Each structure stands twice: as structure tokens, then as C-alpha cells.
A and B are shown apart, each in its own frame.
Chain A
Amino acid sequence: MAKVRCLECDRELNVPSDAIEGEIVTCPDCGANYEVARSNGRIELRPAESVGEDWGE
């Protein structure tokens, strides 16, 4: 289990060490969604895109 911190509320998140790249992890406190990424074997989190579009000004 890898421990990483939520980028929004700083809560410690437990990410399974067998998590695959691109898997979505959600912070139970603030609900932020992250994509699991790996860099040099280490697990990192990247904010998952959750953006909509709308017309007008």
C-alpha cells in the first residue's frame, strides 16, 4: 500500500501497490479524483480531468 497525500485537502490516501496506471482514486474527505501514475516505480497522483463545457458568456 502506497501512502500519498491529497493535493486538495492534504488527507493521507492509501493507494494499493498493485494499482494500475490511469486508475481513479477518490479522496474520501474532499471527493477529489486522481489518476494513478507511476514515475521511477513510485506511485504518484495526477488530478483527473472532470471539466464540462457550456455555451454562452
Chain B
Amino acid sequence: MVTISNSYAIELLKEALELYTPSKQEHPLARLIADKASSELGFEHVHMDDVGNVIARKGYGSPRILLCGHMDTVPGYIPVSIRDGLMYGRGASDAKAPLLALLLAASLARDCGTITFAGLVDEEGNATGIKNLLKNSVDADYAIFGEPSGLEKITIAYKGRVALSITCDVGESAHASAPMLAGNAIEEAYGLWCSIKDALAGMKSKGLTYCITEISGGSSHNVTPARCSITVDIRVPNGMSTGSVINLLDGTMSRVAGMRGIKVEYSVEDKTEAFEARHDSPLVRALVLAVMDVKGRRPMLIRKSGTGDMNVLGNALNIPIVTYGPGDAHSSHSAEEHVSIDEYLASIDVLRRTLYHLSRLHKRVGR
């Protein structure tokens, strides 16, 4: 096993960024991680699963800790460079630096139970990697997702999501010079959207948000539209089920369809429940203590308004999960994507200490 120095960690990140790995083309990075994990980083069992995820294990016993992040990036290669302490490159913050910080922290950890590192494919695409990980019955008491949160922020919660594709059909169209002869599906869709907003307005104070994201209707510039489809994106806070939101809107759409004499059909394109890790779980406490060890200040716990893989894994396994890693999520996917090298190095230390605190706290709570 090699000594993991700062220069080793920086070179590994540079090497990873030089590999262009948009979704479905992660193999070069998977190969690099698998080689390093088995030959230099002290992992005992390393393999690639049938969709291309890299799985590496070390240690034994409890707690069982899953460390996972994604190997793919959004498209668009950015030449790798270092300027003013920042390393630029596609995936620098989303999420190769967080991914490698987890890998190196796991490598440095000693006697911290069983650590499973998973480098996943296709997070920016169809979540093939996380779905396959779940299908293969991953065992874990805790999990950390490597995504950019910044050194002093810990993401403990994501909202749930409901996406509905709704179509209004007025049956007939007419010449645009005689609009009184038929209904207008675009106007009906707009009216329906206003009714949906009215129905959801009472939940805004609980943290529910909603917006219309797509609209498509009409067949010609001089024909009244017979059909119009809209997509509605609703973010559901913790403590509220996606089913209750869908039931409410089902009633609203039926009522509007009856009142207006139109046909309204909808399909549920996404239905993901919210997830929040308990603040007093050993995982959250371990990460808080580790940040305090390194930075001397308490980190802020963050609830994200988005929805991610953490929702899927957390609700499926019913275990504490947090998202943590170096980088600024708001600069992800941009042409100037970068990560602070100091932050990347410090995050390795934070995560190494987290694994130590977690194994200690896990034993104390007697799980």
C-alpha cells in the first residue's frame, strides 16, 4: 500500500479529471479506480458489477459503511489546469473530487468496520448505477454520498418529487377565424394549471413548491388547439407523502374536467419520497465532530430543495445517509467547473475522521 500524501491525492484527482467520462462512458475512470484500490489503496475485494459500477471493500464487522459517488459527468470536456489553488476540469466538483475523497479516506481508515466504496455509473443520466447497487442488495448501516456540499455543510435532507404529465383534450378544433366553434386546449390547460396552483397553495407554508416546466399544444398557426400537454414539477417536503399530493390533484383535475366539459388525462412521470437523516443519528454526529476536528467550527446542516439518489437509497434501506464533499454545487455543470485543492485535501481528512467517529459512536449506541 502506498503512502497517501497530499501530492498523491492531487495527482490522482488530476488523472481522474483528464479522463473524459460522460454518462455511459465511465469505464476509463472505473479501471483507474479499480487498479488503484486493489494495488495501492489497501482494499481487499475489488470488482466491477454488470453495469460498470466499481465496488471495493475493506475491513470487517460492524458498522457497515457505504461510501458512494458517481464516476460520470455531464458532457463537455474542460482542459485540466491548476490556477490560484483551484483545479479546473469537467467533474472537478460534480463529483470526482468528492468521489476520490471518499476513496482515499476509506483507504486511510483503520479498524472502522466494513467499508464498501462504490463508484457508480450514469448518475447524470438514468441512475443505472444506483438502481443496480440496490438490486444487488447492498448491506449497510450508514451511507455517505459524495457530492459537492462544501467543507462546512452537510446535506441531511432532500425533498421528494412528483412530476405529472397532463393532457387537456377539448375534442375538436376550428378555424382560427371562428374560435367560438370549438374549445381551446391551451387556454384550458392554463386554467387547469391555475386550479392546480390554488389546490396546492395551502401546502406552501409546509415547504411544498411547484412550477410548470413544459407546455406543448396546437397543430397549426391558424387552427384552434384541440390538445395541450403540460408538465408539472412539485417538490414535496419531508413529512408529506407524494401519494397525498397526487390524490389531491387527481380530485382537482376530475373536478375541472367535469366543470369545463373537457377530457383531462395524466401520467405520473416521477414519484420519489422525501428523505431526511435524523440529526442525532451517529452518522450526522460523526460528520459534525469530524468537521469540528478539522475546521474548529460547527458545520451547517442543509436541507436541499432538490431530489437525488440519496432519496432512493435512504428510503429503500431505511438507514441514515448524508451527502458530503468538497466543491460548490452551484458551479457544477458550468464551463468553469473547479474545486479548491485545499478543500479537497481537507475533505479527505474530514471523511477519515468521520469513519473513526462513526465506528466509535456506533459501538456506543449498541447497534
Q: Which residues of A contact B (CB under 8 A)?
A: 7-9, 30-32, 47, 50-57
Task: Verify B306–A31 contact, CB threshold 8 A.
Answer: no
List 14 additional contacts besides A31-B298, A53-B304, A56-B304; criterion CB under 8 Å: A47-B280, A50-B301, A51-B157, A51-B301, A51-B303, A52-B153, A52-B302, A53-B305, A54-B153, A54-B302, A55-B304, A55-B306, A56-B332, A57-B147
Which of B99-107, B130-138, B285-293 lies on the face that meets chain A? B285-293
Task: Verify A50–B305 contact, CB threshold 8 A.
Answer: no
Partner of B305 from A7, A47, A56 at Cβ < 8 Å = A56
Instruction: Give chain B interface residues in 277-300, CB to chain A under 8 Å.
Output: 279-280, 285, 288-289, 292, 297-298, 300
* CB-defined A-B contacts under 8 Å, sample of 24: A7-B280, A8-B285, A8-B289, A30-B292, A32-B298, A47-B279, A47-B280, A50-B298, A51-B301, A52-B302, A52-B303, A53-B303, A53-B304, A53-B305, A54-B153, A54-B302, A54-B303, A54-B305, A56-B304, A56-B330, A56-B332, A57-B147, A57-B158, A57-B329
Interface of B is mostly: mixed
Flag whether B22 is at the interface (Cβ < 8 A). Answer: no
The total number of A-B Cβ pairs within 8 Å is 58
Flag whether B56 is at the interface (Cβ < 8 A). Answer: no
Flag whether B62 is at the interface (Cβ < 8 A). Answer: no
CB distance from B294 to the nearest CB of A (A): 13
Which single residue of chain A is at the shortest CB-CB distance from B329?
A: A56
Flag whether B274 is at the interface (Cβ < 8 A). Answer: no
Q: Which residues of B contact A8 (CB under 8 A)?
A: 285, 288-289
Q: Which residues of B contact A47 (CB under 8 A)?
A: 279-280
- Interface size of B by CB at 8 A reads 26
Which single residue of chain A is at the shortest CB-CB distance from B123?
A: A57
Output the residue of A30, A54, A55 with the most chain B CB within 10 A.
Answer: A54
CA distance in complex: A52, B302 (Å): 5
Flag whether B165 is at the interface (Cβ < 8 A). Answer: no
Q: Which residues of B contact A (CB under 8 A)?
A: 147, 153, 155-158, 279-280, 285, 288-289, 292, 297-298, 300-308, 329-330, 332
Q: Which residues of B contact A54 (CB under 8 A)?
A: 153, 155, 302-305, 329
Q: Which residues of B contact A31 (CB under 8 A)?
A: 292, 297-298
Partner of B306 from A32, A52, A57 at Cβ < 8 Å = A57
Task: Verify A52–B300 contact, CB threshold 8 A.
Answer: yes
Task: Verify B302–A51 contact, CB threshold 8 A.
Answer: yes
Which single residue of chain A is at the shortest CB-CB distance from B296?
A: A31
CA distance in complex: A3, B108 (Å): 38
Q: Which residues of B contact A7 (CB under 8 A)?
A: 280
CA distance in complex: A12, B272 (Å): 42
Task: Verify B307–A57 contact, CB threshold 8 A.
Answer: yes
CB distance from B281 to the nearest CB of A (A): 11
